[in-house]
Chains A and B, each alone.
Chain A
Amino acid sequence: MDELILIGVFLTILLFFLGSGIWVGISLIGVSVVGMFLFTSRPVGDAMATTIWSASSSWTLTALPLFIWMGEILFRTKLSENLFRGLAPWLNRLPGGLLHVNIAGCAIFAAISGSSAATVATVGKMSIPELQRRQYPERMIIGTLAGAGTLGLLIPPSIILIIYGVTINESIAKLFMAGVFPGIMLALLFMSYVVIWSLLNRSRMPDPDPPASWGLKIRAFMELAPAALLIIAVLGSIYLGIATATEAAVLGVIGAFLIAAFQGSLTVESFRESLLGATRTSAMIALILAGSSFLSLAMGFTGLPRGLASWIGELGLSPLTLIVALTIFYIVLGCFLDGISAVVLTMAVIEPLVRQAGFDMIWFGIYLVVVVEMAQITPPIGFNLFVLQGMTGRDMDFIARAALPMFGIMILAVVVLYAVPEVATYLPHVMSQPTR
């Protein structure tokens, strides 16, 4: 099969580039250049420039640097302590203690942010130093963050659900509703894992703080006010029709500045630092996105993803085997592509296949998001891993191993989603009733 040879060549070159230590974005550009020279007759460099220009100047991405900037500002406010003082008394006595703050924090931020990397960056910025100071095991800090950060894609607003909805002509409003319960479910699964792990590894967990009185708990709750106001500013502005999902990020930046000013942490120096920090992180992500958009083009020219997808189609599988096969397919693809590219490149062939097998397309969208979410935490190309590498300075293999259990939990979530599709379909179904 030609596809197998193609995969082999792409994989070998990419793994060699990445493994030898070449910067990720450059490696992606490199493997695409080599792949296109080998397998197509098109002008490589011109096509590269066209694609990267348009992908990197795309309006839908503008929310990303702004959300990163928001995170940088919030990092320099007391919001980090607020969030901890707010969530800690409530979650402290759970087995696993403040690790749950990581997951709850990501779930909360997912309701502001449409992307997974931005959620990890924003929440991690606040929680990594706090958890490290309390001597939680490094592996669990990183693992829970990597996993829970993917909630940014599942809990609305979500960039990838918008792209999926537009690609296959399904209601984005319904897709957003469909993501709510699976998002909460996944968060609860992550928390259950933390509970079980900490019960089995008591010796590696720090001693919990003494239990908090109800008075303290209520006062702690008030600490969450700034975060809550920010969510209201961002989500509220979207649902009240003041701003679109892309534009709302700037209200997050303004909200963050207001919080900083109110708490007295807004100085010329903190402004400068937050701005330059956001610029660096955005540039880092932009170089990788540029490379990844070019790799998508190179693969599109070789026809590899489409070839693979149609090959799966020819096997004539039952619904269950189809889902199993698709899951494996997207996990493998997700090792090398970002979720958005994986969806865009394959939906043309996958959509008729899935419709023919009788799946609800809203349900399939949620399934797809969970599956491509896994791509965020699988090496060698996993955005959450890169962000965490940038934030902790740990090795990629350490971070990937830390995230591995979360990968298993997401597979479990796919199983639950398959067995009980109502988790995804109930809410949009209820929502569509009165319109008829």
Chain B
Amino acid sequence: ADKWDMPLAYSATNYHSENAIRFAAAVTEATGGALEVVAHPSGSLFKGDEIFRAVRTGQAPIGERLISALGNEDPLFEIDALPFLATSFDDAWKLYVASKPAMQELLSEKGLMLLYAVPWPPQGLYNKTPVASAADMKGVKFRAYNAATSRLAELLGAIPTKIEASELSQAFATGVADSMISSGSTGYDRKIWEHVKYWYDVQAWLPKNMVIVNKDAWNDLDAQTQGIVLGAAAMAEQAGWAKARELSDWYKEKLAENGMTVEGPSDQLKADFLKIGETMTAEWEAKAGEKGKAIVEAYRAK
């Protein structure tokens, strides 16, 4: 009997982790224990930024990672975090389908295999004051955690301010930050309504987590077991996307229930954001080269 330890970065009650835990249980059961997959949530085995390396080098045979966090490895990984390129679950799925072959090839070069990917709820705009257009973002202290969010702040005329995830609540409480783009789940998890009153459902992008396997570990499995794992992965992907859709509305309700103003963007704000999106997509294409360009074209053609 084989045992696969599966490091997860997010807490056990997060739906990505719940989904992965169910996937692990399904594989263990369907193989009759021949392959036991043990999920380790909350970064209790490897932390988020260690997981890609751990799976790649075989320290863990399987693991889950936020795809766009790997943008420094290859710009292709950033495609699902391009602002205002794919701004709904349907578009995000289309983008996923369009980018999947290139993604699989890229992972394969690194000795990895993609099992499934599940999106986070759409990214909305959190702000302490009402926002009717991009002009309202001028001079606002906007949370940046990587090059892309910093560039976004710059294009908005906001001031990018470096805040790590662990200091999010405190940063908003003390006025280190006034604004950020993040999913409804971040605001709910951090009880952001204590400090921030407005959330705009701009659906800036829908980043995904992916579950990857080390190819050596994969090749050690017999064909039957591989089939079972792939089947469980397909089910987990389907369940994960459905859950993300369901939760997206649930989070919006919860933010509103806790006294936040939850609205769609004004036409002006939408137009401003689309323009910024085009700029950043063009900048990304320059970085990602022909391969990247082809994916965006394929996605837009659908």
Binding site for B on A (CB under 8 A): 40-43, 46-47, 50-51, 54, 59-60, 162-163, 165-174, 238-241, 244-246, 296-297, 300-301, 303, 306, 344-345, 347-349, 351-352, 432, 435-436
Contact = CB atoms under 8 A, between A and B. Distances in A.
Contacts of A244: 163-164, 167, 170-171, 176
A300 B44 contact: yes
B189 A50 contact: no
A301 B13 contact: no
Interface in B158-207: 163-167, 169-171, 173-176, 189-191, 193-194
A300 B40 contact: yes
Contacts of A303: 38
Central interface residue in B12, B165, B174, B176, by most chain A CB within 10 Å? B174
Contact of B194 (A41, A167, A435): A435
Given A41-B3, A51-B46, A169-B190, A351 B13 contact: yes
Given A40-B5, A169-B190, 11 more contacts: A43-B57, A46-B59, A162-B166, A163-B166, A169-B11, A173-B173, A173-B194, A245-B167, A344-B44, A349-B12, A352-B13
Contacts of A344: 42-44
Contacts of A246: 167
A300 B53 contact: no
A344 B166 CA distance: 14
Nearest to B7: A300
B57 A46 contact: yes
Given A46-B57, A60-B166, A435-B259, A168 B176 contact: no
A168 B171 CA distance: 19
Contact of B5 (A167, A168, A245, A301): A301
Nearest to B51: A50
B255 to A, nearest CB: 13
B30 interface: no
B60 interface: yes
B249 interface: no
Given A169-B189, A435-B193, A54 B13 contact: no
A170 B59 CA distance: 32
Given A171-B190, A173-B173, A47 B59 contact: yes
Interface of B (DSSP majority class): loop
B246 interface: no
A297 B45 contact: yes
Contacts of B175: 240-241
Contacts of B29: none
Interface in B36-55: 38, 40-47, 49-50, 53-54
B45 A239 contact: no
B61 to A, nearest CB: 9
Interface in B108-148: none
Nearest to B169: A172
B58 interface: yes
A244 B43 CA distance: 23
A54 B12 contact: no
Nearest to A42: B59
Nearest to A59: B164
A173 B11 CA distance: 20
B248 to A, nearest CB: 17
Interface of A (DSSP majority class): helix
Contacts of B41: 348
Nearest 7 CB-CB pairs, A to B? A241-B175, A241-B174, A169-B189, A348-B12, A47-B59, A171-B191, A300-B45
Contacts of B190: 169, 171
B58 A43 contact: yes
A349 B173 CA distance: 30
Contacts of B163: 244
Contacts of B167: 162, 244-246
Interface in B2-49: 3, 5, 11-13, 38, 40-47, 49
B45 A50 contact: no
Contacts of A43: 57-59
A41 B174 CA distance: 47
Given A167-B42, A344-B44, A173 B164 contact: no
Nearest to B176: A241
B57 A54 contact: no
Nearest to A171: B191
Given A244-B167, A435-B259, A348 B58 contact: no
Nearest to B11: A167
A157 B41 CA distance: 26
Contacts of A162: 166-167, 170
B287 to A, nearest CB: 26
B283 to A, nearest CB: 28
A166 B194 contact: no
B47 A54 contact: yes
A77 to B, nearest CB: 29
A51 B259 contact: no
A50 B60 CA distance: 11
Nearest to A157: B170
Nearest to A172: B169
A165 B13 CA distance: 14
Nearest to B177: A241
Contact of B50 (A41, A51, A240): A51
A433 B9 CA distance: 33
Contacts of A170: 191
Nearest to A348: B12
Contacts of A245: 167, 170
Contacts of B170: 162, 172-173, 238, 244-245
